[in-house]
Structures are given as C-alpha cells and as structure tokens.
Amino acid sequence: MEQRTRINKAQYEVLNMLSCIDREEDVSALKSLIVDFLNSRMQKEIDKLWANGTLTEQKVAAWSHEHMRTPYRHVSQ
C-alpha cells in the first residue's frame, strides 16, 4: 500500500519558491542559508535552556561520560 505524505503550509511555500532554482551553485547557497537559519534557531533554544537552568555545565560534563550508543539486537537465524 502506498503511503501518502502531506506537506504543511510552510513546506508548500518553500517548494513553490524553489521551483525557479535550477543552478547547482544556487542550491548550495540555499542549503547554506537554511543551515544557518536552523543553527540560529537551535542556539536560541539552547540559550533558553541555559537561562532557565535546565541545561548546566554539570549536565554537559555528565554527557561526556555517558555511553549513548544504540544497543544492537541480535537476530537469530
């Protein structure tokens, strides 16, 4: 069965704007802009966590000692 993916209004608007981009260098420039935008939003959220005490130096230091690998499930044959 084919699964349909719905896009939201923001995604639709971005796709509509991108319809005129056809040069690889423009695609690269756009990727860079999007990465910068998302990085800025993420930094603002991190700053909020620092400001309200959710994120602390102790918590970040504790992360350096965590073992966060995904456990592998052994498949029986």
Quick: pLDDT tens for 14-55. Answer: 899 888 898 999 989 999 999 999 999 999 999 999 999 999
Give the amino acid at 61.
A
Phi-psi region of 35 (alpha: psi -120 to 50; beta: other; left: phi over 0): alpha
The H or E element containing residue 29 is helix 24-51
Q: Is the pLDDT of residue 67 over 70?
A: yes
Q: Which residue has the higher pLDDT, 4 or 11?
A: 11
The whole-number pLDDT of residue 76 equals 67
Flag whether pLDDT at 64 surpasses 90. no
Per-residue confidence band for 77, with pLDDT thresholds at 50, 70 and 90: low
